[in-house]
Amino acid sequence: MGWQWFHRLGSPRWFYEKTDAWIPWLAVVSFALLAVGAIWGLAFAPADMKQGNSYRIIYIHVPAAFLSLAGYYIMAISGAIGLIWKMKLADMVMKCAAPIGAVFTFISLVTGAIWGKPTWGTWWVWDARITSMLVLLFLYLGVIALQQAYQHQDTANKASAILALVGTVNIPIIYKSVDWWYTLHQPATIKFTSESTIHPSMLYPLLTMVIGFYCFYALVLLISTRTEVLEREKKTRWVNELAAAKAAGGKV
């Protein structure tokens, strides 16, 4: 049963039809969480004893950093599935995850620089954590470039998947960089194996933002993948039927 579900999920048509009902719910949940988390964190969370109000950028910086790492795993795993099981949908997810992950990584780097200016007195340092995050951005951009570099889609998918899988070695480096090397970047404040070092009054709105970012990521990835499905399957009968229904005023 599990394998049947797995292969059914790999069907572009099945994916498109099943996810149609998910989009409105994900949109409502993600925007509600982001609105609540942003207002809670920016307006009601107390100022930090040392950093004052400048720390509030964590409500954007930390969730974006989380998604840049988690998104890379989604991209790499999708690439591996495409290589091993030749699932077209996995290749589509990999392609769509790359620009989304690149945007989150860029946001993480920019907000980190803004936070670093009042904290460290400079916009940028070649810190182990920051440098490895920059490498992550280049890996995302590399996958995007490979998708555009080949005329044959299968070749582009294979090259992108290989790069994505090789690049996974950078993820644990990012996670452990503050432990392995001397770094200006502070250690993780949210911990799952021990007590978090951030006060609950600041932690709860941050967790709300993290969950909201994850929901928003899922929403954008679904929409992007659905668009990619229609583009690649545009010559199939079921897509033509959808287009005809839309033209006639039906719901796609």
Number of separate domains in the chain: 1
Q: What is the mean pLDDT of residues 50-57?
A: 90
Q: Can you give the residue range of the structural domain that contains 69?
A: 58-244
Q: Which two tokens stand for residue 51?
A: 């950093």
The predicted model scores a pTM of 0.92
Distance CA 79, CA 65 (A): 21
Indicate whether 176 belongs to any domain: yes
Indicate whether 121 belongs to any domain: yes
Q: Which two tokens stand for residue 206?
A: 């941050």
Indicate whether 235 belongs to any domain: yes
pLDDT band at 188 (very low <50, low <70, confident <90, very high): low
Distance CA 243, CA 78 (A): 28
% of the chain at pLDDT higher than 90? 71
Indicate whether 74 belongs to any domain: yes
Please, what is the Cα angle at 242 between 240 and 245, to 5 degrees? 110
Q: What is the mean pLDDT of residues 29-51?
A: 94
Distance CA 163, CA 156 (A): 11
Distance from CA of residue 96 to its chain's centroid? 10
Indicate whether 7 belongs to any domain: no
Indicate whether 26 belongs to any domain: no
DSSP bridge partners of 48: 52
pLDDT band at 120 (very low <50, low <70, confident <90, very high): confident
pLDDT band at 199 (very low <50, low <70, confident <90, very high): confident
How many other C-beta atoms can be found within 10 angstroms of the C-beta atom of residue 200?
Answer: 9
pLDDT band at 51 (very low <50, low <70, confident <90, very high): confident
Indicate whether 30 belongs to any domain: no
In this predicted structure, the answer to whether residue 83 has a pLDDT above a threshold of 80 is yes
Indicate whether 45 belongs to any domain: no
How many other C-beta atoms can be found within 10 angstroms of the C-beta atom of residue 113?
Answer: 16
